[in-house]
Amino acid sequence: MNSCVVMPTNTHWDQKRSLAKYDSIGIDAPVTLPELEENTDTGFSAADYLTLHSGLIVSGEYINEDFKKKLATSRDAKEGVLELGFSVPIAKGGSGFGSCAPITRDGYFLTAAHVLSHDESFVLYATSNSRETYIDYARVREVYRNNEADFAIVKAEMATPRYLKYRTAPLTQETTLFAGGWMHEKGGGLFEDSITIPGQSEFRKIVTTLPMIKGDSGSPLIDQEGLLCGVLSTMRLGVIVKMKPKSAAVMMDLGQINKLIAEDRAKR
């Protein structure tokens, strides 16, 4: 019997290598910020674009007075300078956090169901007013959840002026994809396959060469135009050396997403 060495692939080294390879392409989608005097700019790096178009979901246990004070300091950045930053225990290996993808102007997000593992969760989002961009936060409410597909829709009572539009064109083997947790290195990779989830016909699993690390779950998977292709769900924990790292994102039928959000709005 032949033997082989098995090692984890979801490392920071993999993230940085993939980012160096793909992020040099840049993102074509335009971005408008008050710091840009409301002029539209393009050419954002994948990491910066994702920070401005994703949210971080954290357990309510982190939302204490100390957290609020540290978060408030990020609101005092000088006009014309975009500086976003904060410090919370999750950055030191805590649990109860993940990412999410904003899909409307009024606080609806897509995420992985397993990210919502606590009774109370909050979303952090880099929002903007007429003068500056700053980090806002609000409690999230579950709108829809499917544990088998590992997919959820949540709502936060906040404005989300930068949200992601859906990609409707089929992914190809040449499609460059980007993703990453809000607080982590972002990685790039390529599309490999799209598979219908057994027993869940309204969902598709998208297999990519993206590496993942803890906190990436629920992160938006986007193409070079900044269009949303799904949210990260699972990673390969160990593979034979020299095999490419892989991760999977999940996406629900767009008509079904819009229907669920419309029904939720009608109840409020």
Half-sphere exposure at residue 144, Cβ-oriented, CA atoms within 13 angstroms: 22
Range list of H helices, 144-238: none
Return the residue matching tokens 């309510």.
Answer: 60
The helix/strand/coil state of 148 is coil
Bridge-based pairing state of the strands 187-197 and 133-146? unpaired
Mean pLDDT, range 29-52, rounded to an integer? 80
pLDDT at 162: 92
Q: Is 10 exposed, middle or buried (0-12, 13-18, 19+ CB in 10 A)?
A: buried
What is the per-residue pLDDT across 68-77, written as a single tens digit (0 to 9) for each?
Answer: 666 665 555 5
Does residue 164 contact residue 53 with C-beta atoms inside 8 Å? yes
What is the per-residue pLDDT across 234-256, written as a single tens digit (0 to 9) for each?
Answer: 765 444 444 556 789 999 999 99
What is the per-residue pLDDT across 180-231, written as a single tens digit (0 to 9) for each?
Answer: 766 556 678 889 999 998 888 999 999 988 877 767 889 999 999 999 999 9
pLDDT at 81: 52
Mean pLDDT, range 109-131, rounded to an integer? 87
Return the residue matching tokens 């940085």.
Answer: 16
Higher pLDDT residue, 243 or 122?
Answer: 122
Q: Does domain 30-163 have CATH number 2.40.10.10?
A: yes
Task: Outline which parts of the chain fall under CATH 2.40.10.10.
Answer: 6-22+165-257, 30-163
pLDDT at 243: 52
Q: Where in 103-240 does DSSP place strands (E)?
A: 108-111, 121-128, 133-146, 151-156, 176-179, 187-197, 200-208, 220-223, 228-235, 239-240
Mean pLDDT, range 28-55, rounded to an integer? 81
Distance CA 121, CA 141 (A): 8
pLDDT at 241: 43
Task: Give the pTM.
Answer: 0.85
Which pLDDT band holds residue 5 (cuts at 50, 70, 90)? Answer: very low
Side chain identity at 233, as an amino acid letter?
S
Fold for domain 6-22+165-257? Thrombin, subunit H (2.40.10)
Which pLDDT band holds residue 11 (cuts at 50, 70, 90)? Answer: low
